[in-house]
């Protein structure tokens, strides 16, 4: 929350003009508190059993629709990527077969650049919020931070098509992160009823027009996204639980699982449909499913040592990766700020570099005859219109180029090649090393360009290649299959970068469909996460921090213990009287960007000034718009109650709320009074000023508040000391006020 920081102390006339009309508050907080004002209570009392039942049915219907929508988008995504990339690869391959190497390079690079440029243009001009993974933003949203247009329909559109184009353009990016964001966008749109046009939907959805229900829907959406990306319903659920959601309820667990199961069913149906050959170039490749079952995991001491080594390597490489990603993101943000053309230029540059790597490096590799190690060459090689997993590249049709089989393939197929079991000599050591270095570097420089780009795939690719490298190197002393080593390498690198553990473990289990790998996977994840945590934070947390999103951690920081709530309350407090002058309200709303205003009852309405409650900016705007003003200070509560129902105060979609400028209040009206009692939340949470900041932070976070009133301990003072918002718990703010606090922890 930047608003209190910027505007709390600015009440002098000079700063007014600068503020009003300036760019509207970029980041809003979400409010998970129930606003218990008179209107809410009236509405709550009149709610019937039928309405409660409707609400329940609708919740499940929405969960189903989120699953269906995300599942279908997942299918479309895979279909489009496989066909676009397949067409590109076939074109290149056919030119190569005719020995037209330069034309092949031109065709390959040209396709890539065109696809990349379109993706970048979409992203730069239509929805800049669609760039990147989207997981950090969804995570921040579920923590209570409403970054602008992060879940808007335009973002959804660009996320889907940008992701398809980006992946098809051969970037070292995945479609998994964007799927999570897509799922969240779909959930948000469904909760909003799509658009205001549909009056019917609106009425049904009125109970969902609040941040609490939106949060539940988006949690379902994020889980559905993971489920769609990995075909892992339980993994999706656990991802939402472990990484995405900040709050969790047992009831939501079941609804989320229902959503992810719907996704699983949709994907299953899609694959069965595609088996009949109606999906063009879409084969087994689109949806990740690593069939390494054939290799039976064993447990021996050399394997154990090798796996511990993998875990340590994964932790070190992962934290290094995060470090470089952070640096590159900072650099890119400077370039990206210069405007859309620069964004597109950057994307084209990275695309050119990626194409050169992909096409150039395989020349360093030797040709390997098919018959030697591959069991069914005709199913694997690329012939005619089929795009197989093994590429001839410059070799004879009876040979394949192993590096080309990794580079000149979709990322999913490359992963499948790396994880394949029982094929120790299929990929050379040098190939694996080259591929690892290239992917590691390309992954770092690719994240942050203006295309939707997931991090899972680059990380899995790099991890699997060094895992397989280790497995191949140590093959004489190891019992475990190299394919399984590749899987463990991927796990170690995922653990080192993302620091998720349970959900990754379950996702990888579901992908490989082999419970026997569980102990090894847990071990490697545990080690890599522990090692990496010594150096820096997880990549998503880093990105959240870099984007300046005021994320509230679940635990209070140690330095908070030495402070009390009153220590971090800063700036001037603006309060309203129970019956307030219209002019005062309008002026205050113009002058500040506060979103909550304490309402104080003063004599003659009470014996002494006392806190009546908290009024929200959005509610004040709705109240002012109806212009139910009086000339004198009189209670007009019942009349106001008749004029409104709770619907009018439902949360508007982002950017759709009433603007202060729309109000058109005359000068006479400015001198009149309005009764704030009916819209004031009479039960805001309060803390006494001497409560330790730790406990205030825990309260604020656990209850998902936006405002926390600080009340005085001693008598004879105004009834409220200040309001704590999300921003007041941020280290930067606290350090400004108390430079002595120790933050070494």
By the criterion CB under 8 A, which residues form the site for its own copies? 34, 36, 41, 44, 233-234, 237-238, 241-242, 248-251, 253-254, 257-258, 261, 264-265, 268, 501-502, 505-506, 509-510, 513, 515, 518-519, 522, 526, 554-555, 561, 564, 607-608, 610-611, 682-683, 685-688, 690-692, 694-695, 698-699, 702-703, 711, 713-716
Taking CA atoms, 283 is separated from 5, 271, 406, in Å, by 54, 9, 17
Looking at the Cβ atoms of 602 and 610, the one nearer to its own copies is: 610
Contact (CB, 8 A) for 712 and 41: no
User: What is the C-alpha to C-alpha distance for residues 665 and 624, in angstroms, rounded to an integer?
Assistant: 9
Q: How far is the CB of 511 from its own copies (least distance, A)?
A: 11
Looking at the Cβ atoms of 423 and 530, the one nearer to its own copies is: 530
Contact (CB, 8 A) for 294 and 422: yes
Contact (CB, 8 A) for 153 and 658: no
Q: How far is the CB of 274 from its own copies (least distance, A)?
A: 17
Contact (CB, 8 A) for 482 and 475: yes
User: What is the C-alpha to C-alpha distance for residues 538 and 111, in angstroms, rounded to an integer?
Assistant: 34
Looking at the Cβ atoms of 461 and 563, the one nearer to its own copies is: 563
Q: Residue 367 in 3-state DSSP?
A: strand
Instruction: Judge if the upstream peptide bond of residue 604 is cis by omega within 30 degrees of 0.
Output: yes
Q: Cβ neighbours of residue 553 under 8 Å, at least 6 residues apart?
A: 701
Q: What per-residue string of b and e applies to 530-565 under the rule 16 or more CB within 10 Å gives b?
A: bbbbeebbbbbbbbbeebebbbbeeebbebbeebbb
User: What is the C-alpha to C-alpha distance for residues 121 and 341, in angstroms, rounded to an integer?
Assistant: 8
Q: How far is the CB of 303 from its own copies (least distance, A)?
A: 14
Name the residue among 74, 70, 76, 111 with its Cα closest to residue 90. 111
* Positions of E strands within 399-556: 399-401
Q: How far is the CB of 521 from its own copies (least distance, A)?
A: 9
Q: How far is the CB of 143 from its own copies (least distance, A)?
A: 12
User: What is the C-alpha to C-alpha distance for residues 320 and 330, in angstroms, rounded to an integer?
Assistant: 16
Q: How far is the CB of 236 from its own copies (least distance, A)?
A: 12
Contact (CB, 8 A) for 144 and 246: yes
Looking at the Cβ atoms of 223 and 329, the one nearer to its own copies is: 223
Looking at the Cβ atoms of 334 and 607, the one nearer to its own copies is: 607
Looking at the Cβ atoms of 159 and 255, the one nearer to its own copies is: 255
Q: How far is the CB of 526 from its own copies (least distance, A)?
A: 7
Q: How far is the CB of 243 from its own copies (least distance, A)?
A: 8
Looking at the Cβ atoms of 39 and 711, the one nearer to its own copies is: 711
Q: How far is the CB of 175 from its own copies (least distance, A)?
A: 22
Q: How far is the CB of 711 from its own copies (least distance, A)?
A: 7
**Lateral strand order in the sheet of 722-724:** 686-688, 708-711, 722-724
Neighbours of 280 (CB within 10 A): 15
Contact (CB, 8 A) for 154 and 126: yes
Contact (CB, 8 A) for 412 and 285: yes
Q: How far is the CB of 689 from its own copies (least distance, A)?
A: 11
Place of tokens 């009692």: 677
Looking at the Cβ atoms of 187 and 711, the one nearer to its own copies is: 711
Q: Residue 178 in 3-state DSSP?
A: helix
What's the gap between Cα 137 and its chain centre? 4
Q: Residue 723 in 3-state DSSP?
A: strand
Q: How far is the CB of 234 from its own copies (least distance, A)?
A: 6
Q: How far is the CB of 522 from its own copies (least distance, A)?
A: 5
Largest CA distance in the chain: 96
User: What is the C-alpha to C-alpha distance for residues 99 and 87, in angstroms, rounded to an integer?
Assistant: 19
Place of tokens 């490697």: 524
Looking at the Cβ atoms of 418 and 687, the one nearer to its own copies is: 687
Q: Cβ neighbours of residue 717 under 8 Å, at least 6 residues apart?
A: none
How far does the chain reach from its first CA to its final CA, in angstroms? 24
Looking at the Cβ atoms of 526 and 658, the one nearer to its own copies is: 526
Looking at the Cβ atoms of 406 and 710, the one nearer to its own copies is: 710
Looking at the Cβ atoms of 343 and 706, the one nearer to its own copies is: 706
DSSP 390: B
| Backbone phi and psi for residue 503, each to the nearest 5 degrees, phi listed first | -70, -40
User: What is the C-alpha to C-alpha distance for residues 595 and 617, in angstroms, rounded to an integer?
Assistant: 5
Left (φ > 0), alpha (ψ -120 to 50) or beta: where does 571 sit?
left
Looking at the Cβ atoms of 18 and 301, the one nearer to its own copies is: 301
Looking at the Cβ atoms of 12 and 745, the one nearer to its own copies is: 745
Looking at the Cβ atoms of 301 and 607, the one nearer to its own copies is: 607
Q: Which residues pair with 630 in a beta bridge?
A: 673
Q: How far is the CB of 702 from its own copies (least distance, A)?
A: 5
Sign of CA dihedral 662, 668, 670, 676: negative
Q: How far is the CB of 519 from its own copies (least distance, A)?
A: 5
User: What is the C-alpha to C-alpha distance for residues 348 and 354, in angstroms, rounded to an integer?
Assistant: 10
User: What is the C-alpha to C-alpha distance for residues 31 and 209, in angstroms, rounded to an integer?
Assistant: 12
User: What is the C-alpha to C-alpha distance for residues 302 and 70, in angstroms, rounded to an integer?
Assistant: 43
Contact (CB, 8 A) for 368 and 486: no
Tokens representing 283? 């084969």
Q: How far is the CB of 614 from its own copies (least distance, A)?
A: 12
Q: How far is the CB of 502 from its own copies (least distance, A)?
A: 5
User: What is the C-alpha to C-alpha distance for residues 65 and 179, in angstroms, rounded to an integer?
Assistant: 16
Looking at the Cβ atoms of 580 and 601, the one nearer to its own copies is: 601
Looking at the Cβ atoms of 43 and 669, the one nearer to its own copies is: 43
């Amino acid at each position: 929350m930047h608003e209190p920081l910027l505007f709390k102390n600015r009440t002098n006339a000079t700063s007014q003009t600068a503020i009003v009309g300036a760019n509207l508050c970029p980041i809003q907080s979400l409010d998970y508190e129930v606003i218990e004002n008179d209107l809410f209570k009236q509405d709550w009392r009149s709610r019937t059993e039928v309405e409660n039942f409707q609400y329940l049915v609708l919740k499940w219907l929405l969960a189903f629709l989120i699953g269906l929508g995300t599942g279908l988008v997942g299918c479309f995504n895979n279909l489009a990527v496989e066909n676009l990339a397949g067409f590109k690869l076939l074109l290149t391959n056919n030119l190569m077969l005719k020995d037209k190497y330069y034309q092949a390079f031109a065709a390959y690079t040209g396709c890539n650049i065109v696809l990349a440029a379109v993706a970048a243009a979409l992203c730069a001009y239509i929805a800049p919020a669609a760039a990147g993974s989207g997981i950090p933003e969804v995570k921040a949203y579920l923590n209570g931070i409403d970054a602008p247009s992060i879940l808007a329909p335009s973002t959804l559109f660009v996320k889907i098509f940008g992701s398809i184009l980006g992946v098809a353009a051969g970037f070292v990016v995945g479609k998994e992160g964007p799927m999570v964001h897509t799922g969240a966008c779909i959930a948000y749109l469904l909760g909003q009823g799509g658009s205001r046009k549909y009056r019917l939907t609106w009425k049904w959805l009125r109970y969902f027009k609040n941040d609490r229900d939106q949060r539940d829907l988006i949690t379902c959406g994020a889980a559905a996204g993971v489920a769609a990306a990995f075909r892992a319903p339980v993994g999706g659920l656990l991802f939402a639980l472990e990484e995405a959601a900040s709050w969790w309820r047992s009831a939501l667990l079941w609804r989320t699982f229902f959503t992810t199961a719907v996704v699983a069913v949709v994907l299953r149906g899609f694959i069965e449909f595609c088996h009949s050959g109606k999906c063009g170039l879409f084969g087994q490749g689109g949806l990740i499913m690593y069939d390494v079952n054939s290799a039976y995991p064993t447990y021996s001491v050399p394997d154990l040592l090798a796996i511990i080594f993998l875990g340590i390597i994964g932790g070190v490489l992962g934290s290094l990766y995060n470090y470089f990603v952070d640096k590159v993101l900072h650099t890119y943000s400077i370039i990206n700020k210069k405007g859309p053309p620069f964004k597109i230029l950057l994307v084209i540059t990275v695309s050119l570099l990626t194409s050169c790597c992909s096409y150039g490096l395989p020349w360093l590799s030797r040709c390997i005859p098919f018959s030697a190690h591959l069991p069914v060459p005709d199913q694997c090689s690329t012939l005619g219109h089929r795009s197989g997993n093994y590429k001839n590249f410059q070799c004879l049709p009876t040979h394949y180029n192993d590096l080309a089989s990794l580079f000149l393939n979709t990322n999913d197929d490359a992963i499948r090649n790396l994880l394949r079991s029982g094929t120790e000599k299929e990929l050379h050591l040098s190939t694996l090393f080259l591929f690892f270095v290239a992917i590691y570097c390309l992954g770092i420089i690719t994240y942050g360009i203006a295309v939707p780009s997931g991090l899972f795939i680059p990380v899995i690719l790099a991890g699997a290649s060094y895992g397989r490298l280790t497995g191949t190197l140590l093959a004489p002393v190891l019992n475990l299959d190299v394919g399984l080593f590749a899987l463990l390498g991927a796990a170690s690198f995922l653990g080192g970068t993302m620091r998720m553990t349970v959900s990754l473990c379950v996702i990888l289990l579901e992908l490989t469909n082999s419970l026997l790998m569980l102990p090894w996977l847990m071990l490697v994840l545990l080690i890599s996460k522990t090692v990496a945590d010594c150096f820096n934070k997880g990549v998503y947390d880093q990105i959240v921090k870099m984007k300046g999103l005021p994320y509230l951690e679940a635990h209070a920081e140690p330095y908070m213990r030495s402070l009390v709530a009153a220590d971090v309350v800063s700036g001037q407090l603006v309060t309203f009287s129970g019956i307030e002058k219209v002019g005062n309200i309008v002026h205050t709303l113009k002058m500040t960007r506060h979103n909550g205003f304490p309402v104080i009852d003063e004599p003659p309405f009470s014996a002494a000034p006392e806190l009546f409650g908290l009024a929200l900016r959005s509610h004040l705007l709705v109240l002012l718009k109806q212009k139910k003003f009086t000339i004198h200070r009189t209670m007009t509560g019942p009349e106001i109650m008749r004029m409104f129902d709770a619907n009018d105060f439902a949360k508007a979609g982002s950017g759709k709320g009433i603007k202060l400028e729309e109000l058109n209040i005359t000068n006479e009206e400015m001198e009149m009074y309005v009764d704030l009692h009916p819209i004031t939340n009479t039960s805001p949470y309060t803390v006494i000023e001497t409560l330790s900041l730790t406990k205030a932070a825990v309260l604020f976070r656990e209850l998902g508040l936006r405002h926390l009133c600080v009340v005085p301990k001693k008598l004879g003072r105004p009834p409220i000391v200040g309001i704590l918002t999300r921003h007041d718990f941020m280290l930067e703010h606290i350090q400004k006020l108390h430079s002595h606090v120790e933050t070494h922890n």
